[in-house]
């Protein structure tokens, strides 16, 4: 499974190098790349934001810069996910479905978001991690990478069995290893 993360803040993703995901990357079970959107600014001051097309308050990420960053990683089979508070709320079923993909491109917005014209052109799915507002899409992207990677073959302990039980409002997920239950 390959993840390409388009972000203005690649340094925010350091935590993913730890523990289970860090080992999964070392073992080549998952591949996570960070693409700094700012590297695609053609402006001499490396400017990436602009006033929204058609008006509105605040600033948005410029469409041309986001599109060029996307072009640098896109592939026929890649699925592009935009992390936004307006997206469909992520749940375990969606996580499991996403783990069947081979290449996810995660687009992280900052400022007031990203120019709508480029979103309409490149985004396949808009996902939120819950009903609250954050300063950027980076933490949601990390949540998605962590939850999806657990389903990738070889990321969790080899002989583990996943047992998932549901009741009305809660979902409990436990990973049962050979001798003990965690
Ligand atoms: C896209 C559009 C995801 C991304 C707007 C992202 C919460 C979630 C963002 C915005 C996110 C989630 C920019 C709107 C900052 C709010 C103060 C980044 N917040 N933002 N504004 N729930 N923020 O998954």
pLDDT digits (tens, 9 = 90+) for 101-121: 999 999 999 878 899 999 999
Q: Give the model's confidence band at 173: pLDDT under 50 very low, under 70 low, under 90 confident, else very high.
A: low
Q: Determine the distance from the C-alpha atom of residue 146 to the mean position of all C-alpha atoms in its chain, rounded to a whole number.
A: 9
Does the beta carbon of 120 sit less than 6 angstroms from any atom of ligand 1?
no
- Which CATH number goes with the domain that contains 17? 3.40.1280.10
Q: Return the pLDDT at 112.
A: 83
Does the beta carbon of 139 sit less than 6 angstroms from any atom of ligand 1?
no
Tell me what the mean pLDDT of segment 84-108 comes to.
98
Q: Would residue 112 count as lying in a domain?
A: yes
Full domain range(s) for residue 69: 2-177
* Calpha distance 83→86 (Å, rounded): 9
Structural domains counted in the chain: 1
Instruction: Classify the C-alpha dihedral 1-122-125-47 as positive or negative.
Output: positive
Of 8 and 180, the structure prediction assigns the larger pLDDT to 8
Are 9 and 136 a contacting pair, CB within 8 Å?
A: yes
Q: Would residue 182 count as lying in a domain?
A: no
Q: Would residue 116 count as lying in a domain?
A: yes
pTM of the predicted model as reported, rounded to 2 decimal places: 0.89
Does the beta carbon of 136 sit less than 6 angstroms from any atom of ligand 1?
yes
Q: Which class for 153: exposed (0-12), middle (13-18), buried (19 or more C-beta within 10 A)? A: exposed
Q: Return the pLDDT at 171.
A: 52
């Amino acid at each position: 499974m390959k993840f390409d993360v388009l972000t203005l803040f690649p340094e925010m993703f350091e935590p993913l190098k730890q523990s289970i995901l860090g080992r999964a990357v070392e073992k080549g079970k998952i591949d996570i790349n960070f693409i700094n959107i700012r590297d695609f600014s053609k402006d001499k001051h490396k400017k990436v934001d602009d006033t929204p097309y058609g008006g509105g308050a605040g600033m948005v990420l410029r469409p041309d810069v986001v599109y060029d960053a996307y072009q640098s990683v896109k592939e026929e089979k890649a699925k592009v996910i935009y992390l936004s508070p307006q997206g469909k709320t992520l749940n375990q079923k969606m996580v499991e479905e996403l783990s069947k993909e081979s290449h996810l491109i995660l687009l992280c917005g900052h400022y007031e978001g990203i120019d709508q014209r480029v979103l309409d052109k490149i985004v396949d799915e808009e996902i939120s991690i819950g009903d609250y507002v954050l300063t950027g899409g980076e933490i949601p992207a990390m949540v998605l990478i962590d939850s999806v990677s657990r389903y990738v073959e070889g990321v969790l302990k080899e002989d583990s069995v996943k047992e998932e039980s549901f009741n009305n409002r809660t979902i409990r997920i436990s990973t049962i290893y050979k001798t003990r239950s965690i």
